[in-house]
Structure 1
Amino acid sequence: MSDSRQINCDSVVLRSELLKELGGLPEISVSNQEWMYMLEEETRNSLSIEGIFTSEQNLQAVLSGRKSAPEVLNYYRTAESVYDQALQYYREEDFRLDTALVRHIHSSLFKEVTDRRGEFRHGAIRIQGAQVQPPDRDIDQYVRVYLELCRSSLKKQPLLAALARSHILFESIHPFDDGNGRVGRILLNYLAISGGCPPIVIKGITAEERTSYYRALEAADTGFHSGFPAPEVAELEMRLEQGNFGPIEALLCSGLLPRLDRLIAIAFERQSALQPLREVAEHFAVKEATLRKWIERGKLIALKRDNKLLSHPRLYLSDD
């Protein structure tokens, strides 16, 4: 199924609730191929955004120990560990987000790469090619306000809207000398998993994909193009809301829904057999072409296997 299909992002709530009914997110383990695939896909795309390119074959060589690439291995292992932590908190109906987590993510990402891992920067920094002007002092305080706004957004706004705002604010603050994109994307997915969703893949392997991401960031961080206000919740929130979050929310939506749909279909399959589209079409008394349109519009969840689409009448998402 195409990642570019036009789907109302509000359906994320409906889908996450359906996944929860079917047993929720699966355990993160080497025996779970879906998680391993998601982690590998994210590792390659997220690193590519920062100019660290690795093929599927090279990634496998790094993970098996046949090739050394600390930044690649660190990303995969950090994501695996942090996401497992988020999943356990979600299952315990707990939520934890603090400065220690932010520092830990950076420290893990830069193991054997730099001695300054986990340390917030001191002084000004410029983001190449970006108009946003990060703060040049009080970085600890800005991060604390970021964390407070994250918690507030997750309570007040739909998940994708909250995730988009948290990501934009973190990247605008740019608290580390290096690796802010990697830290920010892992934090983004920590929050997504804490909300019962699988990690989001922000595509970045092609130049076109990276450009789409950069443009989405720039559209949303306009409130910080002239500099940063004092590290106070009300001030930062007001500046943050000056941005256009449509592009980044759409990008996050396209990076989440294919994964969410696949996990739903696999979870459903553990309870009932998926059916060929022909049988599903007979149930609804429509043509297969109609079902394909439903799938494109996000009304019917389907799983592609051996080049064939499988679904079930119970995977139809009603507008009611």
Structure 2
Amino acid sequence: MAQDFSKLYLIVDWRDDVLMDFVDDLTLEHIEGQLLWEEAWHSCALDGVVVPFEEMDAVKEIAAKRLEYSEEIIEKVLKGKISEKKLSDVLSYSLDKVKPSWAEVIRYYEVALAMYGMALEMRENVLFLLPKLPRLIHRSLFYGIPGKEKSGEYRKTSSIEDAGVPSLLKELTPKDNIEEFMKIWSEFTRLLFTQRWNYTLDNVEFSHSLFMSILPFEYGNGRVGRIIVNMLLLMAKYGNAIISSEEEEKKMYFRGLERGARVFHEQFVSDQTLPMQLAILYQMRRSSDLIKSIMYGLADSYDILLNNYLKDKLVPLSEFVKQSGKKLSEVQRLVRSRKLIRKKVDGEWYVYPEIAPKSLEEFLGYGRMKTVEKESKQNDGAKKKNKK
């Protein structure tokens, strides 16, 4: 029996409604700073590429210089003042001189920034690019990175050298015909978003689960998959999800991927791969882990944005415990489950003293709903945002 996750969606939709009091539409400018760096750090860490926090300022400085040089040099190329080879040399210089882990985080940031800009501009038209997107993103992430000679190539064998993938996924993934399975994935994703638009958050989860059950590349599958997740979210006017690499949340994310791999493996083996058939089966047998990982990632992203506007209203967790009359353990559960807008300062949680609504009826009672269309689509447990 299909599970109802409508209460889980409320932690995102509530935050989105609060944010609408300050921001009409998310733009690349909202994302390109802390949001995207947080995502880059966690996404690379999930794949086993960990840069110590104290090194991130140096990483960001290199990325800023690369952006500055790229804009300068590209202008000169367009004016015929510098060759394309010289451009390539200039743009790669800083990655040749830094730690490999730094290079991979910088490259993730740069590629995600470009892909998200495209998603925000193209919106639904991104769906027409699905057949080409995975290889384009993979090649962009790993071209020129030492030891990553197969950038942009689907794997030809069962060999998967991917530190960011649970072993069960490697066991259950298709061993060959990857090209054909990726055609199934792109058609599956396109049909979900054209036939079930009101279920955006579900669709993103379904698509990511199938992608990670195929593991089309020998390495870097998680990073490519998570960039596509966020392109689909941004296309639908959500934010980018920062899926956490913290141990307990990483375990939850991996459990969700493993559940999907088990479901889809049975269909791969029996050659039952019609897109809607896959969607119905997954809907019936999914667990809460993967959708929760995506929802928590979105909530964390919104919190970073909201804290810019609510910073004067945040209170220490200890103070909120007194204000609310709740037990400390109960409030800590609210923090973990993202029922509170939160920010950690010097190791201590600060929260916005308002708890996420427990039901759709309570949410609608807040009076923040902006349009009749938005209200009707909330009744489906998910929405296509239609901000003006």
Fold equivalence (TM over 0.5)? yes
Q: Spell out, residue by residue over 1:239-270, the C-alpha distance to the aligned partner (whole angstroms, 9 max, x if none).
A: 5345323111112111111322443564x67x
* 1:98 corresponds to 2:130: yes
Report the alpha carbon displacement of residue 134 of structure 1 after superposing the two structures with TM: 1.8
Instruction: Quote the residue 1:119 is aligned against.
Output: 153
Instruction: Quote the residue 1:86 is aligned against.
Output: 119
Distance verdict in 2 for CA 1:143–1:246, change over 3 Å: same
Paired amino acid for 1:129: S
RCO comparison, higher one (Cα < 8 Å, 6+): 2
Decide which structure has the larger Cα Rg and report it.
2
Instruction: Quote the residue 2:65 is aligned against.
Output: none
- The 5 Å alignment of 1:37-56 reads 37-56=34-53
Inter-partner Cα distance in structure 1 for 2:112 and 2:13: 24
Q: Which has the higher helix share?
A: 2
Q: Spell out, residue by residue over 1:31-84, the C-alpha distance to the aligned partner (whole angstroms, 9 max, x if none).
A: x6x642111211121111121111123233233238343322211111111112
Q: State the superposition RMSD in angstroms.
A: 3.7
Report the alpha carbon displacement of residue 223 of structure 1 after superposing the two structures with TM: 1.3
Inter-partner Cα distance in structure 1 for 2:199 and 2:143: 35
Report the alpha carbon displacement of residue 190 of structure 1 after superposing the two structures with TM: 1.1
Instruction: Quote the residue 2:288 is aligned against.
Output: 246
Instruction: Quote the residue 1:8 is aligned against.
Output: 7
* 1:57 corresponds to 2:54: yes
Paired amino acid for 2:167: G
* 1:73 corresponds to 2:106: yes
Higher alpha-carbon deviation: 236-245 or 51-60: 236-245
Q: Spell out, residue by residue over 1:2-35, the C-alpha distance to the aligned partner (whole angstroms, 9 max, x if none).
A: xxxxx93232345435545643444334xx6x64
TM-score by length of 2: 0.63
The correspondence for 1:259, drawn from 301, 305, 316, is 301
Inter-partner Cα distance in structure 2 for 1:138 and 1:107: 20
* 1:223 corresponds to 2:273: no
The correspondence for 1:144, drawn from 163, 168, 183, is 183
Paired amino acid for 1:116: K
Report the alpha carbon displacement of residue 100 of structure 1 after superposing the two structures with TM: 1.8
Paired amino acid for 2:158: A
Paired amino acid for 1:67: V
Inter-partner Cα distance in structure 2 for 1:195 and 1:14: 16
Distance verdict in 2 for CA 1:147–1:253, change over 3 Å: same
Instruction: Quote the residue 2:375 is aligned against.
Output: none
Inter-partner Cα distance in structure 2 for 1:121 and 1:24: 42
**SS, match of residue 28 in structure 2:** coil
Higher alpha-carbon deviation: 167-176 or 212-221: 212-221
Q: Which runs of 5+ in 1 are unaligned?
A: 1-6, 278-286
Higher alpha-carbon deviation: 81-90 or 10-19: 10-19
Inter-partner Cα distance in structure 1 for 2:125 and 2:36: 23
The correspondence for 1:201, drawn from 230, 242, 255, is 242
Q: Which runs of 5+ in 2 are unaligned?
A: 1-5, 63-96, 316-321, 366-388
**SS, match of residue 158 in structure 1:** helix
Q: Spell out, residue by residue over 1:61-118, the C-alpha distance to the aligned partner (whole angstroms, 9 max, x if none).
A: 233238343322211111111112212234xx65434222221110111121233211
Higher alpha-carbon deviation: 213-222 or 59-68: 59-68
* 1:213 corresponds to 2:219: no
The number of residues matched between the two structures is: 296
